[in-house]
Amino acid sequence: MKQVLQNLNSGTVELVEVPCPLVRRGHLLIQSRASLVSAGTERMLVEFGKSSLLAKARSQPDKVQQVLDKMKTEGVLPTLKAVFARLDEPLPLGYCNAGVVVEVGEGVTDFAVGDRVVSNGPHAEMVCVPQNLCAKIPDGVTDEAAAFTVLGAIGLQGIRLIEPTFGETIVVTGLGLIGLLTVQMLLANGCRVLGIDVNPQRLELARQLGAEVVDLPAGADPVASAMAYSRGRGVDGVIITASAKDNSIVHQAAQMCRKRGRIVLVGVVGLELNRSDFYRKELSFQVSCSYGPGRYDATYEERGQDYPLGFVRWTEQRNFEAILDALATGKLDTTPLVSTRIEHQRAADGYRTLTSDSSALGIVLNYPEVAAPRERTVLLNAKAARKTRSAGRVRVGVIGAGNFARMTLLPVLKRCPVVLRTIASSGGVTGAHSGAKFGFERVTSDYKEIIEDPAIELVVILTRHDLHAPMVLEALEAGKHIAVEKPLCLNEEELERIRTAYASAGSRQMLVGFNRSFAPHVRKMQSLLVGRTQPLTMSMMVNAGVSPADSWVHDPKVGGGRIIGEGCHWIDLMSVLAGAPVTRVYAVTIGESAGLDVRDDKTSITLEFADGSIGTLHYFGNGSKAYPKETLEVFADGKVLRLDNFRVLKGYGWPNFKHMKTPSIDKGHLAEFENLVNAITNGGPEVMPFSRITNVMEATFAAVKSGATCEPIVLDASRDQPDAANA
């Protein structure tokens, strides 16, 4: 299928062939009939993409600070590499879609195949959208008119926040698509409406729709005009739907308001507020969030949990329904808002019109009514597919194309002696982009294509944590070698199922993303510790940084929490340095008495190992970004090794070693996969012993349990050891 994508680095907009998305639980698969280009938001995105790197930086000072912080801890070159990788990501354009449901996901009850629906799906022939971001189109409402629903809901949410009453005077500043829809809804609500814009054509449209206007191009004073229109009392409220960097827009809004007037910001303007503007009149100011309650709430949007109507009357979905009802009854008229109609195949022409013609308003993309192809797999490089069938190279399938895959592991795999056969991503877009960039033969939206492909020997799993165990089990059953990003699984039950499957799978390589043990600094530490006469004492400090409380990482069913999701890294590292499994775990975490929602990202874990060594892992999410992320100290036989951020290793008391420094941070990702590919190609022992993997996961689960109970937990370190298995 075809989808409109933008390259953020160059600003180029193009129509790209991508796999049809796979319908997910609680989602609808929709064949597009019409979609609307948002003249404000999408013009801003295209112009941002076309701007220089310096201009991009100036427009996002908060992002610049993040880059500077990253440079302090990780160095200049790795930071620049990460920045350019982010700019290279494809950006799906569009969020105003109307189409027909062709497939419903598990758990969907309110929609059926054949329903005409609106959604915030992108400009693509097929879109997969959560059910709470969809609404049924009433009979009599055209696909073209319905495509305005999402923009209408944005304006409607601004109106709901300003709470207008019949007869009040409301100013709408900015008469783009959202502004003109807002004008119509305010008039339908019985308000007197004054429109302000710099574009004469849009002023005329507002006048035709029934509003009074302020003719800024002719030099009219907006404040004086508003005061005159409100009979000298000041207007009751101002809804700002403009997009501008100017701070004067809010200042003017405050000046034209009556005492205790209301201002709601729907658009994007400068926000250097003048306190005296608001103080004397006791004005209220509020920023409106998109389509309404539920927006950006993963529980509502992704997992389909609706808000009770008795407590939240107008969710974003119910706002969609209200707009569609207004279209059905004629209270909203979108016909005069359409300036261009164009076929989806010529979408790039529409965006050229958007950026070159300031009068362009509503650009509607039309799609053919014939059934769109629903191919889940797309061939990216036929020449590469023929060329790389030679023997001697491991054929790889990669499941997942997120940030970590694109910026870290795919560049690593590209450097290994492998055939990159297939990459999978559920939406298809990131997979198609990454597949083309790194030389994969094909891309799919259905990961089972990789599991079931007999040509693929190694399956690399880079998905969210809750999918790791199920995919590992499927890959083991299919007889594949496996590399799975940490953690291996989220609980003991999953671990037990993997144990059973691994025992039945025969000679298979399984590698979990505990890459730090392959880092050159760690290998040097291991060589220095050979021949030690006493147990080690180790201290690992992880300055993990803040992770938002609503992040999927903290969801016990999806991410497992930060200790399971990330802490296993350093438990494995200390186990490798000790050369022994963990036998006892005790953890202390900041408790509920601290009043924190996220608890396990401020945890200290004490580990005891079978050889008598001890280690402490301090995993803290409340430190400064300027401080190094990882610091490891190892005390042994009167000597000390200190590793700073996998860049500098220093020795204290070692007769023939003082320090080791690498040009940049090296956490062992390349060496990890080089070892794995070599073992698969040439045979040999496990690159990462299965007994080590299971012991680390058990120790990680024990750390979480100990942190909750404040009790130490003893592990059976002999389980999964080769001698125990053969006994």
Residues 83-100 pLDDT 10s: 666 667 788 999 999 999
Q: Which residue has the higher pLDDT, 226 or 55?
A: 226
Percent of the chain with pLDDT over 70: 91
Is 121 a residue whose pLDDT tops 60? yes
Question: What sign has the CA pseudo-torsion 403, 406, 410, 411?
Answer: negative
- CATH classification number, 151-287, choose in 1.20.120.160, 3.40.50.720, 3.90.1720.10, 3.40.190.10: 3.40.50.720
Is 123 a residue whose pLDDT tops 90? yes
What pLDDT is stored for residue 592 in this prediction? 58
Mean pLDDT computed over every residue of the chain: 90
Q: Which residue has the higher pLDDT, 716 or 600?
A: 716
Q: What share of the chain is helix, strand, coil (3-state, %, to 5)?
A: 40, 25, 35
* Predicted model pTM: 0.88
516-726 — its CATH code?
A: 3.30.360.10
Under CATH, to which class is 2-147+334-366 assigned?
alpha beta
Is 381 a residue whose pLDDT tops 80? no
What pLDDT is stored for residue 506 in this prediction? 83
Question: What sign has the CA pseudo-torsion 223, 227, 229, 233?
Answer: positive
- Rounded to 10 deg, the angle between the 222-229 and 248-256 helix axes is 30
pLDDT category of residue 246 using cuts at 50, 70 and 90:
confident
SS3 of 500-519: HHHHHCCCCCEEECCHHHHC
What pLDDT is stored for residue 725 in this prediction? 40
Rounded Cα distance, 719 and 715, in Å? 9
Is 485 a residue whose pLDDT tops 80? yes
Rounded Cα distance, 397 and 423, in Å? 6
Contact between 667 and 646 under an 8 Å Cβ cutoff? The reply is yes
- CATH classification number, 377-513, choose in 3.30.390.50, 3.40.190.10, 3.40.50.720, 3.20.20.100: 3.40.50.720
Angle at 624 between CA 619 and CA 626, to 5 degrees: 115
Helices (H) and strands (E) in the chain, counts: 27, 32
Is 145 a residue whose pLDDT tops 50? yes
What pLDDT is stored for residue 338 in this prediction? 94
With CA atoms as reference, report the closest residue to 557 among 496, 467, 485, 475: 467
pLDDT digits (tens, 9 = 90+) for 445-462: 999 999 999 999 999 999
pLDDT digits (tens, 9 = 90+) for 131-141: 999 999 999 99
Please state the domain extents for the chain: 2-147+334-366, 151-287, 377-513, 516-726
Rounded Cα distance, 203 and 220, in Å? 13
Is 647 a residue whose pLDDT tops 80? yes
pLDDT digits (tens, 9 = 90+) for 306-349: 999 999 999 999 999 999 999 999 999 999 999 999 999 999 88
Q: Both tokens of residue 103?
A: 């497939």
pLDDT digits (tens, 9 = 90+) for 184-215: 999 999 999 999 999 999 999 999 999 999 99
Percent of the chain with pLDDT over 90: 74
pLDDT digits (tens, 9 = 90+) for 221-241: 999 999 999 999 999 999 999
Contact between 15 and 348 under an 8 Å Cβ cutoff? The reply is yes
What pLDDT is stored for residue 380 in this prediction? 87
Contact between 158 and 290 under an 8 Å Cβ cutoff? The reply is no
What pLDDT is stored for residue 719 in this prediction? 75
Same fold, 151-287 and 377-513: yes
Is 386 a residue whose pLDDT tops 90? no
Q: Which residue has the higher pLDDT, 664 or 620?
A: 620
Is 726 a residue whose pLDDT tops 50? no
Contact between 636 and 534 under an 8 Å Cβ cutoff? The reply is yes
What pLDDT is stored for residue 316 in this prediction? 96
Rounded Cα distance, 718 and 21, in Å? 45
What pLDDT is stored for residue 75 in this prediction? 62
pLDDT category of residue 628 using cuts at 50, 70 and 90:
confident
With CA atoms as reference, report the closest residue to 609 among 538, 708, 516, 706: 538
pLDDT category of residue 526 using cuts at 50, 70 and 90:
very high
Is 48 a residue whose pLDDT tops 80? no
What pLDDT is stored for residue 42 in this prediction? 78
pLDDT category of residue 724 using cuts at 50, 70 and 90:
very low
With CA atoms as reference, report the closest residue to 211 among 243, 237, 188: 188
Q: Give the chain's length.
A: 727
What pLDDT is stored for residue 545 in this prediction? 87
Question: What sign has the CA pseudo-torsion 315, 317, 321, 326?
Answer: positive
